[in-house]
Amino acid sequence: MNLEQLNKIANHMTAPGTGILAADESSGTIKKRFDSINVQSTETNRRNWRELLFRTEQAMKDYIGGVILFDETLRQKSDDGTPLVKLIENSDAIPGIKVDTGAKDMAAFAGEKITSGLDGLRDRMQEYYQLGARFAKWRAVIEIDDVRPSNACVIANCHALARYAAICQEAQIVPIVEPEVLMDGGHSIDRCAEVTMAALKTLFMELHTQGVKLEGIVLKPNMAISGKKCAHQAGVEEVAEKTVAVLKASVPAAVPGIAFLSGGQSDLEATAHLNAMNAGFDLPWNLTFSYGRALQAAPLAAWAGSNIAAGQAAFAHRAKMNSLASKGEWNEAMEG
């Protein structure tokens, strides 16, 4: 393992002004997105959509440091025969790959999930490296209410994340570790912060046990935020304050960068929360974005299956807004 090179990749993707585009939707998820704009989810349409994003020169060159891909996309070529991976590389962004195989029901713990995909992962990593991937992503799903998650669920998911991360680094691939505490439900921001801190502390204990080098990872956590059904929705400053407090209490300074997931937040919410953290606090890590919907929803609607120019303009705008937020330089007036 070349830790210096892993650290260089992690820093490149999370540098101030730079973030990660999550374009790794599974076939089922992207079908739902396409259904919302009345576009059929064919292999060609999926390729055309992602090629549109990767050919948005301003966004890709100036604001995007890495792109998480689905297995299908990693292998696809554009209309002119250029591999999509090469389009990403040509913009000085780094191609990555989603490697987990989804969250499954956890035995003996009703209503809780465990992420699968460790079987055969070492061999798959070697192939993904050959195909151009230089980082990977694994998402753990932690559901939350007054009693969940159980300790067993948190430990099992964090152990799997640590095993995955060790396999990544062995293959000279930077692991993005993503323990997502879901924002569904009626829980308060304080309950979210409590569960998120417990998950992160468990995660870093497991990473240490499995020999993972923190200088060669990227953390992709949720923000501390009110549940969607909570009667009191915390404001921007409260989200920033409590998220930063959780991170400072549980994330070692050796981690190069933290790239938040948007987790169902609106475009503006995800941008405003990120900006408030970077504008208001002195932090030991680079804080940036690894957004899917919060980068793609607006351009997807603008594209609507055929309007490439409108889709690219919307993507460039959202990428720029989040780039500014990653430096604490955004304000809502810039949204125009």
Residue 324 contacts by C-beta under 8 Å, 6 or more apart in sequence? 17, 275, 330, 334
For residues 40 and 48, give the distance between their C-alpha atoms in angstroms, rounded to a whole number: 12
Q: Sort strands 286-291 and 257-260 into parallel, antiparallel or unpaired.
A: parallel
| Number of neighbouring beta carbons within 10 Å of residue 43 | 10
For residues 285 and 278, give the distance between their C-alpha atoms in angstroms, rounded to a whole number: 10
Residue 85 contacts by C-beta under 8 Å, 6 or more apart in sequence? 69, 74, 95, 131, 132, 133
The one catalytic residue among 25, 51, 112, 178: 178
The one catalytic residue among 98, 113, 137, 220: 220
- Tell me whether residue 178 is one of the annotated catalytic residues: yes
Helix axes 189-209, 151-170, angle to 10 degrees: 50
Give the HSE-up count for residue 249: Cα atoms under 13 Å, Cβ half-sphere: 14
For residue 145, the 8-state DSSP code is S
Q: Are 176 and 135 in contact (CB under 8 A)?
A: yes
User: Which residues are catalytic, by number?
Assistant: 178, 220
